[in-house]
Structure 1
Amino acid sequence: MTDTEALVFECELDAPPEKVWRALTIPEYLARWIKPDQNIDLAVVTSEENRSLTYSWREAGQGAIVGAEDSLVTFELTPTNDGGTWFRLTHEPVTVPSAANSNQTMLLVA
């Protein structure tokens, strides 16, 4: 990914936001859903219960790709009229501002 690319996935889930929230925040459920690989380090960056959650995502361990970038994974949950959840996942690289004398943005890399 470059500093302007983000992967976005959206769908409707047949579960209320509270149930989806539990799947994203209870470690045993999260492991089944998005973290089958133990070489991924996740840390909560921001959260608004039952609405949005952002994790920092970093490949770690012996098999990590040298120079792999950190990224942010954001989950947005919106209740639907039928009791389900509109689910939006955005996975984007972390960017940090360059020095004050530069007009460029740099990718934060491991």
Structure 2
Amino acid sequence: MTSETDALVFECSLDAPPEKVWRALTIPEYLSRWLKPADDIELAVVTAEENKSLTYRWREAGQGAVTDAEDSLVTFELTPNDDGGTWFKLTHAPMTVPVAANSNCVNALLMAA
């Protein structure tokens, strides 16, 4: 679940067709040249609809399952243009995960108060 007010959205038109943009987002060596994620970033595919939409879970390497740091979701939406290019929309939003009421996390205690 994400909060739209916390999301960063970037949109633009690209000269390449959606299939080519898709390859740049899904082939690791192309992704690393194009997106250039830092070495301490782990990416994992959450959802994918070929040549249309792709969502990665973005996480700093080494974070455990229970942590104060928030993971985020990076979603790419690809829409073909009439000129053969792609309307490109990138949304980077924090991912909030519900915390169990019996959790020992400080955040859970504050939320229950």
Q: TM-score, normalised by structure 2?
A: 0.77
3-state DSSP of counterpart to 1:32:
helix
2:35 corresponding residue in structure 1: 34
Structure number, greater radius of gyration: 2
Could you give the per-residue CA deviations for residues 2-55 of structure 1, whole angstroms, max 9, x where no partner exists? 954000000000000000000000000000111341110000000000000000
Q: Give the superposition deviation at 1:99.
A: 5.1
Does residue 52 of the first structure (1) align with residue 53 of the second (2)? yes
Counterpart secondary structure, 1:24: helix
Check whether the contact 2:18–2:78 (CA below 8 A) recurs between aligned residues.
yes
Aligned pairs, number: 97
2:35 and 2:74 map into 1 onto residues whose CA distance is 11
After superposition, where does 1:5-20 map in structure 2 within 5 Å?
5-20=6-21
- The list of structure 1 runs, each at least 4 consecutive aligned residues, that deviate by more than 6 angstroms after superposition, is none
CA–CA distance in 1 between the matches of 2:22 and 2:95?
23
Alignment-derived partner of residue 83 in structure 2 = 82
How large is the RMSD of aligned CA atoms in angstroms? 2.4
Q: Share of identical aligned residues, percent?
A: 78
Q: Secondary structure at the match of 1:50?
A: coil
Question: More strand per residue: 1 or 2?
Answer: 1
- AA matched with 2:10: F
Determine the structure 1 residue equivalent to 2:23.
Answer: 22
Query: SS of the counterpart of 1:28?
Result: helix
Structure 1-normalised TM-score?
Answer: 0.79
Per-residue CA distance 1:48-74 (angstroms, 9 max, x = gap): 00000000000125xxxx843100000
Partner of 2:104: none
1:96: how far off?
2.2
Q: Which runs of 5+ in 1 are unaligned?
A: 101-105
Structure 1 or 2: more helix by fraction: 2
